[in-house]
A and B are shown apart, each in its own frame.
Chain A
Amino acid sequence: MDTVSSLHQAQELLIPYTVVATHPSPDRLDIVLRTRNLLPAVQALQAAQWGYLSAITGLDHPGFDPTEAKSQPVEEKKWDRLADPYIQNVGVFSTPHLETLYHFCQGAAILTLRVKVPRTKPVLPSLCPLIPYATLYERELVEMMGFEVNGASSGERFILPEDWPDGVYPLRKDFESLESQASSGGSS
């Protein structure tokens, strides 16, 4: 199956769950989903045997420019502008939020399922019941970005050292170093 028809098939499969679909490049299809539709969407892909889960990317949209004063929300900064077309369609999350990108690949076709969750309560369902090997990627999301993935984490550290402080997530935009973290009194 060629790339165009692969992506077309994926788009058809996911129509019931799609909030907005875009083609960032000819070999890619990005679909924004609501969190509750994530598992049904992945199930639909699996039922049609569409591709495989290649990677999961976590993104932090802190709603402020981390180079400026911390935790002062700045309106219309570059972080928002990038995510703007999605935000309008999803409606709820202007700032700040975390985003998860589930990249599925079939041949040269790349399908990305995008899910947004609030930064204060970043809860995601686990893909493990459907894709058991997703656990390694999800544990990375949990430790590095501070997502709460229901049912993914075994509670033990996977990547970070045992003595790493709880509640500090190194890939969040407001994390600079453990020293600065200690002086400012923890993550936002």
Chain B
Amino acid sequence: MEPAAKSGKFSIPIGPQHPALKEPGHFEFSLEGEIVTSATARLGYVHRGIEKACENRTWIQNLYLLERICGICSHIHALAYALGVEKLAGVTAPPRAQAIRTLVAEMERIHSHLLWLGVAAHEAGFDTLFMYSWRDRETVMDLLEGLCGSRVHYSANTLGGVKCDVSPRHSEAIHRGVDFLEGRTRYYMDVVTHDETLLGRTRGVGTMSLDQAVALGAIGTTARASGLARDIRVEAPYAAYPDFPVRISLETTGDLLARFLVRLNELLETYRLIRLIVDHLPEGELQARIPRRIPEGEAISRVEAPRGELFYFLRSSGSDKPDRIKVRTPSICNWSSVLVTAIGHKLADMPMLLAGIDPCFSCSDRSVRIHKKDGEVEQWSWEILRQYGIDYYR
């Protein structure tokens, strides 16, 4: 930290490693006293060159690579990619597959929004809410693990369909889980709107007007909190959304409180949608056949990730590998909104403001625990897991 003697301004670097946000991003704020006068960002600390890596892998290999862009919204990346490749190949996944894709996408939205609620509460210093919401999030994580076999990278998608089916036992468990979460979400809604301490950190903080949201190109929940009705599920329905329409969740005040409300209301809508899908799953196949070589052409695939519009551009030169894959993740759109709305706020509000757009943490790591039938728990190392995989597919 170096004081610039003449102007009386202080420049505060935050990150890339910092205690406030569990994400490697670097921000530099200029301050006059406590008030932020300018903000800049430097990203790329977890840039892994995935777009380039895609060009050296086959279409099906890329499905697994792209799913690993994010450890929170993994399914939605695989979904956007699979839908794009299917467009290029002229293949449509069967209705049951589309419904299961939508179901997993909405369950992922629950886990993502509850995770965000915890992070935001933590940034506000409200760690009880953080621990409650993360405890409840385990409910949906367990449901996803039961359905797809994994908590984070569900790998529900394949090109042309899905790999997992929903059995009556699953749907019963999903109903039970969603009922529990709905009760919890209503409780959180009460906490968020009535707890004076939390309201002090959220009401009127980081306000982005509708005009600003338009000018800054905000998307997803950040845009919807400012009254900008952008939701790809509504505007350009994909997968099974045409059959299971979504009611958009909008707020108008544009402050941090509005961002809480939009996400919590969206959770309630998601519960409704999940019940509807589970009860009305179309019968039929899970996969359609797709060629190994994808015909020449270009396709654009847009989906609504938990953080907003996810944009994929795919280009094929007719081979078994893509020519170019461009991924525009939602967080990149919302950075500008933080950098602009930060100005005029106190430095102490910055962690909350940064967390307010739910920036995407792009890495996750997890060992596998096997719960045996007799109640014994066994921890698997990477080597054992790898060998298991090799032996399994031998």
Residues on A lying within 8 angstroms of B by beta carbon are: 24-25, 27-28, 52-55, 57-60, 78-79, 81-82, 101, 103, 105, 107-108, 110, 112, 131-133, 135-137, 144, 156-161, 170-171, 175
Residues in B with CB closer than 8 Å to A133 are: 215-217, 333, 336
Query: In the complex, what's the smallest C-beta–C-beta distance from B323 to chain A, in angstroms?
Result: 8
The 0/1 profile, CB within 8 Å of A marked 1, for residues 289-320 of chain B is: 00000001111101000000101010101100
Indicate which residue in B217, B313, B328, B336 contacts A52 across the interface (CB closer than 8 Å).
B217
B87 within 8 Å of A by Cβ?
yes
**Using Cβ atoms and an 8 Å threshold, which residues of chain A touch B311?**
54-55, 103
Asked whether B372 is an interface residue with its Cβ less than 8 Å from the other chain, the reply is no
From A77, which residue of chain B is reached at the shortest CB distance? B317
Chain B interface residue count, Cβ-Cβ cutoff 8 angstroms: 34
Report Cα–Cα, A170/B53, bound state, in Å.
Answer: 10
A-B CB contacts (within 8 Å), total count: 79
- Residues B296 and A82 in contact, CB atoms below 8 Å apart: yes
A24 touches B217 (CB 8 A): no
Q: Are A103 and B313 in contact (CB under 8 A)?
A: yes
Check B49 for interface membership: any CB of A closer than 8 A: yes
List the A residue with the shortest CB-CB distance to B312: A55
Q: Known contacts A28-B300, A159-B43; can you find 6 more A-B pairs with CB under 8 A? A: A55-B328, A57-B324, A82-B323, A133-B217, A133-B336, A157-B44
Specify which chain A residues have a CB less than 8 angstroms from the CB of B313 in the assembled complex.
55, 57, 101, 103
Contacts of A57 in B (CB 8 A): 313, 324, 326
Q: A79-B317, A82-B296, A101-B313 are known contacts. Are A159 and B87 too (CB-CB below 8 A)?
A: no
From A52, A81, A103, residue with most partner B Cβ within 10 Å: A52
Contact B297 A59 (CB under 8 A): no
The 7 closest A-B pairs by CB, nearest first: A108-B236, A159-B44, A55-B328, A133-B336, A57-B326, A133-B217, A55-B311
Q: Does B335 contact A (CB under 8 A)?
A: yes
Is B236 touching A53 in the complex (CB atoms < 8 A)? Answer: no
Nearest chain A CB to B329 CB, angstrom units: 10
0 or 1 for each of B317-345: is its CB under 8 Å from A? (1 = yes): 11000011010100011011000000000
Q: With a CB–CB cut-off of 8 A, which chain B residues contact A175?
A: 52
- Whole-angstrom CA separation of A59 from B215 in the bound complex: 27
Is the beta-carbon distance between B324 and A158 smaller than 8 angstroms? no
Q: Does B51 contact A (CB under 8 A)?
A: yes
A contact residues around B87 at 8 Å (CB): 25
Q: Is the CB of A136 within 8 A of B332?
A: yes
Bound-state Cα–Cα, A82 to B314, Å: 13
B114 → A minimal CB distance (Å): 28
Residue-by-residue, is B198-220 near A (CB-CB < 8 Å gives 1, otherwise 0)? 00000000000000001111000
Q: Are B42 and A27 in contact (CB under 8 A)?
A: no
- What is the distance, in angstroms, from B321's C-beta to the closest C-beta of chain A? 10
Q: Is B2 an interface residue (CB 8 A)?
A: no
Q: Are A132 and B42 in contact (CB under 8 A)?
A: no
Which of chain A's residues have a CB closer than 8 A to the CB of B298? 24
Name the residue of chain B whose CB is nearest to the CB of A134.
B217
Who on chain A is nearest to B228 by CB? A52
A107 to B237, CA, bound (A): 10
Compute how far the CA of A60 lies from the CA of B313 in the bound complex, rounded to whole angstroms.
14
Tell me which residues across on chain B come within 8 A of A157, comparing CB atoms.
Answer: 42, 44
Q: A24-B297, A27-B236 are in contact. Are A131 and B217 (CB under 8 A)?
A: yes
Q: In the complex, which residue of chain A has the Cβ closest to the Cβ of B296?
A: A82
Q: Is the CB of A53 within 8 A of B217?
A: yes
Closest to B326 in A: A57
User: Known contacts A54-B311, A55-B326, A57-B326; is A171 also within 8 Å of B335 by CB?
Assistant: no
Contact of B194 with A by CB under 8 A: no
CB proximity of B10 to chain A, nearest CB, Å: 20
- Per the bound structure, the CA–CA distance linking A160 and B47 in Å amounts to 8
Q: A160–B323 Cα gap in the complex (Å)?
A: 22
Task: Let me know if B300 and A161 touch, CB within 8 A.
Answer: no
